[in-house]
Structure 1
Amino acid sequence: MKIGLYFGTFNPIHVGHLTIANHLAEYSDLDQVWFVVTPHSPFKKKNSLLDNYQRLEMVYLATKDYPKLKESNIEFGLPQPNYTVNTLSYLEEKYPDNEFALIMGEDNLKSFHKWKNYEVILARHSIYVYPRISEGTINHQFEDHPNIVKVDAPIMQLSSTFIRKSIKAGKNVKPMLPEHVWQYLDEMNFYK
């Protein structure tokens, strides 16, 4: 099985995340997309970041009706600070029959050369890149790389930061969130 790994804090997960992941699950050769919830770093104090399991719960609520989309807490048990290359090694060991690919926005590809052991990641894994409206150009070494797959997914101009600020300001963000996620956030009074 070929699995796309979509890393993020998902604080909160929103319809933009779901749209991109579902597009990849339906219109690429990926069999599933796993939302890998990035744990809160114990070394960083970030008041706006919800607890790991609250964010995992939101991802579960958002994806439970989509058989090809799954939540993953795989990084919760790995030593911190963690690097993507370590997560990939762990997953390959734990699920030897699966092939893992990365999913990232075009904006992240611009700084990919700064990632720990990025050459190892690129040599062993495909990277599915979805479009973002952003400034700057992609590093030429990634432009025509055989393991970089550019995906013609919808461009989503929605961010978790915008949603958190909107909730704090008392705005109605219900259309930007999966229904179950909105209900959970509202019930728990998150980001207010």
Structure 2
Amino acid sequence: MKRIGLFGGSFDPVHNGHLEAVNSFLDSGLIDEIWILLTPVPPHKTDQRKTDFEHRYNMLKLAFQESDNTKISDIEKDLPKPSYTLQTIHHLKNQYPDYTFFLCLGEDSLQSFHKWHKYDQILEECTLMVVDRPGSDHSGVGSEILEKTIFVDHKPMNISSTEIREAPDSFALMNLPDEVQNYIQKNNLYTDSR
């Protein structure tokens, strides 16, 4: 029975912080593989302009091409929009009934998890796995969520995709895998101010 971590996001663009989080999830020893799910249109970001799905998918493949036990998935592209996590989990559990799934989150996502669509039903379907920032305070997170959460040791990087989109040149060298940086330059992504 395989144990699979699900790590979703818009990855616009994928950066080294995402890679480090994936490494921390895998290093926990709690999962056999991590599936990185590219979200076409996150429900909470419908008003934001998004880089083309294929570009984001290609960057993910480049970023994780040397990583073991990772799989880049575009299944949410073919599911009804918006891309609700519960819908994706139901789809995967129907496809892989013998697998156990964990929902992998950053600590910032845990803080807002109670606002997710039908979050209580997500908790019924799978356990949360959260990369924990040193000294994090989880006092604002409901007990019903914490009871279904496993915290994983992690040393976070202080970078976000938003910062890279807004100032790609200054952040690229430090915070992007080389292949992703080259892809962005080759395809003239993030050249206009957002």
Q: TM-score range by the shorter chain?
A: 0.7 to 0.9
Number of aligned residue pairs: 188
**Shift in Å at residue 155 of structure 1?**
1.9
**Shift in Å at residue 117 of structure 1?**
2.3
**Shift in Å at residue 157 of structure 1?**
1.1
- Over the residues paired in the alignment, what is the CA RMSD in angstroms? 2.3
What is the aligned partner in structure 2 of residue 77 from structure 1? Answer: 78
Unpaired stretches in structure 1, ≥5 consecutive residues: none
Q: Kindly indicate whether the alpha-carbon contact (under 8 Å) linking 1:142 and 1:148 is maintained by their aligned counterparts in 2.
A: no
What is the aligned partner in structure 2 of residue 179 from structure 1? Answer: 178
Give the counterpart letter for 1:29 in structure 2: L
Does 2:105 match 1:100? no
What is the CA–CA distance in structure 1 between the aligned matches of 2:58 and 2:23, rounded to whole Å?
19
What is the CA–CA distance in structure 1 between the aligned matches of 2:159 and 2:184, rounded to whole Å?
17
- Specify whether residues 41 and 16 from structure 1 end up closer, same or farther in structure 2 by C-alpha distance, changes over 3 A only: closer
What is the aligned partner in structure 2 of residue 116 from structure 1? Answer: 117
What is the aligned partner in structure 1 of residue 128 from structure 2? Answer: 127
Q: Kindly indicate whether the alpha-carbon contact (under 8 Å) linking 2:131 and 2:152 is maintained by their aligned counterparts in 1.
A: yes
**Shift in Å at residue 96 of structure 1?**
1.8
Q: Kindly indicate whether the alpha-carbon contact (under 8 Å) linking 1:104 and 1:127 is maintained by their aligned counterparts in 2.
A: yes
Give SS of 1:79's match: coil
After superposition, the C-alpha distances for 1:123-147 in whole angstroms (9 at most, x for unaligned) are: 22110011248788332314650x3
TM-score by length of 1: 0.88
Give the counterpart letter for 1:173 in structure 2: A
Q: Kindly indicate whether the alpha-carbon contact (under 8 Å) linking 1:85 and 1:117 is maintained by their aligned counterparts in 2.
A: yes
What is the aligned partner in structure 1 of residue 51 from structure 2? Answer: 50
- Indicate the percent of aligned positions where both proteins have the same amino acid: 35
What is the CA–CA distance in structure 1 between the aligned matches of 2:23 and 2:159, rounded to whole Å?
16
Q: Kindly indicate whether the alpha-carbon contact (under 8 Å) linking 2:10 and 2:42 is maintained by their aligned counterparts in 1.
A: no
TM-score by length of 2: 0.87
**Mean Cα deviation higher: 5-14 or 147-156:** 147-156
Give the counterpart letter for 1:79 in structure 2: P
Give SS of 1:64's match: coil
What is the aligned partner in structure 1 of residue 160 from structure 2? Answer: 159
Unpaired stretches in structure 2, ≥5 consecutive residues: none
